[in-house]
Amino acid sequence: MIRSATLALQPPLPQISDNNRLRLFSGSANTKLSQEVARYLGMDLGPMVRKRFADGEIYVQIQESIRGCDVYLVQPTCYPVNDHLMELLIMIDACHRASARQITAVIPYYGYARADRKTAGRESITAKLVANLITQAGANRVLAMDLHSAQIQGYFDIPFDHVYSSPVLIDYLSSKQLSDIVVVSPDVGGVARARAFAKKLNDAPLAIIDKRRQAHNVAEVMNVIGDVAGKTAVLVDDMIDTAGTICEGARLLRAEGARQVYACATHAVFSPPACERLAAGLFEEVIVTNTIPVPIEHHFPQLTVLSVANIIGETIWRIHEDSSVSSMFR
C-alpha cells in the first residue's frame, strides 16, 4: 500500500528571499520523489537531458542558465548504485562548469555507506571514497537522510546536513493508536537509533536483540534484552536489504511472546529474497519510505510506503534561507 504522509510543515512562500536563484534538478534514480519535493517547494524541476552513448557512458546537459544560482540535485545512489553515483558526479560537474553559485547534492539514500571502516586487512573504506568523489566533482554541500553510520558526515570537508525520516514514521505509527508498544533494535549497533525513535514515540520502552556467534560455521545465538511478551514490537532499522536480520528478529520476538510485530525502516533496498521473506506472515506491517523507489513487483500486502518529500523540501528551503535545519527534529 502506498501512502502519502503529510507533516505539519507549511510550503514556503515564493515571495520570500531570492527564490529566483533556487534551482532543483532530478537524476534518474527517483524522479517521482524529486517531483514531490518540487511540488512542496512550489516550483518545477529544471530541464535536463540525460542519455547513454552506445558504450554505456552517461551524458548530462543542463538546459537552462544556472549561472549564480543555488542548485539542488536530487539523486539517491540506489540500485544500480554505480550508474546512479556516476550520474550524480556528472550532474555536479556540469553545474560546476555552468558557474552555479552553490551546488547541493541531495542524496536521500547514500550508497556504499556500510563500508564505513576497515574490519579486516586490505579493505577499502568506500563511504569515504564516495565522499571524496562527490567533493572533488564540485559539490559545495550534501544533504542526506538516515545515514547507515552517522560518522560518515565527518568524511566530508564541506557542509553536511543529516536529516531523519522518523517524524514521518512516528506520525504514521501514532495514527494507528497501537497499545503496549516496545521499540526493538534488531542488533546492538542500532541501539542509538532505536532509543531516539522510542523517545519520540511517547517514551516507549526499548528492547534489544543480541546476536552472538560462538564459533565459525556455528549458528548465531539470539537473545532479547527487554520485555516483549504481550506487547506490540516495532523493529526499527535504517534499511532493509535482504531482510535476513529483521526477519530473524521478528521470529525471535514472536517466540518470546510479542503480540504483534511491525517493521520500520527508512530505506527499502529490498535485494532478493527480501520481499518473499517480508511477506511470509511475520509482520503485521512493513513500513518504509520512498527514499528509494519501490517498483510494483516488490509490493506485497503488508507493505506501506510513506513519502519523505516534505522533509526534504523543507530542508532544502531552510538551507536556501540560511535558517536552522536541526530545529525541525526537536
> Do 271 and 316 lie in a common domain?
no
Q: Is residue 11 part of a domain?
A: no
> Do 283 and 170 lie in a common domain?
yes
The SS3 of residue 313 is: helix
- What digits encode the pLDDT tens for the residues 227-277? 999 999 999 999 999 999 999 999 999 999 999 999 999 999 999 999 999
Q: Is residue 12 part of a domain?
A: no
Confidence band for 222, pLDDT divided at 50, 70 and 90: confident
> Do 233 and 253 lie in a common domain?
yes
**Alpha carbon distance 318, 328 (integer Å):** 10
> Do 171 and 279 lie in a common domain?
yes
Q: Is residue 113 part of a domain?
A: yes
Share of the chain above pLDDT 70, in %: 92
Statement: residue 7 has pLDDT above 70: no
> Do 202 and 97 lie in a common domain?
no
Q: In this predicted structure, what is the pLDDT of residue 20?
A: 80
> Do 300 and 315 lie in a common domain?
no
Mean pLDDT of 67-80: 98
> Do 138 and 249 lie in a common domain?
no
Statement: residue 119 has pLDDT above 70: yes
Residue type, 16: I
Q: Compute how many other C-beta atoms are within 10 angstroms of the C-beta atom of residue 102.
A: 17
Range of the domain at 293: 166-307
Q: In this predicted structure, what is the pLDDT of residue 326?
A: 94
Average pLDDT, the chain: 93
Mean pLDDT of 18-25: 85
In this structure, what CATH number is given to the domain that contains residue 32?
3.40.50.2020
Q: Is residue 299 part of a domain?
A: yes
Greater pLDDT, 17 or 197: 197
What total of structural domains would you count in the chain? 2
Q: In this predicted structure, what is the pLDDT of residue 216?
A: 52
Q: Is residue 243 part of a domain?
A: yes
Statement: residue 25 has pLDDT above 90: yes
Mean pLDDT of 213-220: 57
Q: Is residue 245 part of a domain?
A: yes
Cα 108 to chain centroid distance, Å, stands at 5
Q: Is residue 7 part of a domain?
A: no
Share of the chain above pLDDT 90, in %: 88
Task: Give the DSSP letter string of 192-254.
Answer: HHHHHHHHHTTT--EEEEEEEE-STTSPEEEEEES--TTSEEEEEEEEESS-HHHHHHHHHHH
Q: In this predicted structure, what is the pLDDT of residue 259?
A: 97
Q: Compute how many other C-beta atoms are within 10 angstroms of the C-beta atom of residue 225.
A: 14
Confidence band for 1, pLDDT divided at 50, 70 and 90: low
> Do 60 and 103 lie in a common domain?
yes
> Do 23 and 159 lie in a common domain?
yes
**Alpha carbon distance 158, 54 (integer Å):** 35
Strand segments, DSSP code E, in 92-230 are 102-107, 141-145, 160-163, 181-185, 206-213, 220-225
Q: Is residue 121 part of a domain?
A: yes
Q: Among this protein's residues, is 118 annotated catalytic? A: no
- Range among 12-21, 128-137, 213-222 with highest mean pLDDT value: 128-137
**Alpha carbon distance 196, 92 (integer Å):** 34
**Alpha carbon distance 34, 240 (integer Å):** 22
- What digits encode the pLDDT tens for the residues 165-205? 999 999 999 999 999 999 999 988 899 999 999 999 999 99
Confidence band for 16, pLDDT divided at 50, 70 and 90: very low
Q: In this predicted structure, what is the pLDDT of residue 235?
A: 98
Greater pLDDT, 16 or 47: 47
Of 128, 176, 199, 211, catalytic:
211
> Do 27 and 156 lie in a common domain?
yes
Statement: residue 15 has pLDDT above 60: no
Look at strands 181-185 and 141-145 and give their pairing: unpaired
> Do 160 and 214 lie in a common domain?
no
> Do 131 and 172 lie in a common domain?
no
**Alpha carbon distance 76, 144 (integer Å):** 9
Mean pLDDT of 218-223: 68
Strand segments, DSSP code E, in 91-140 are 102-107
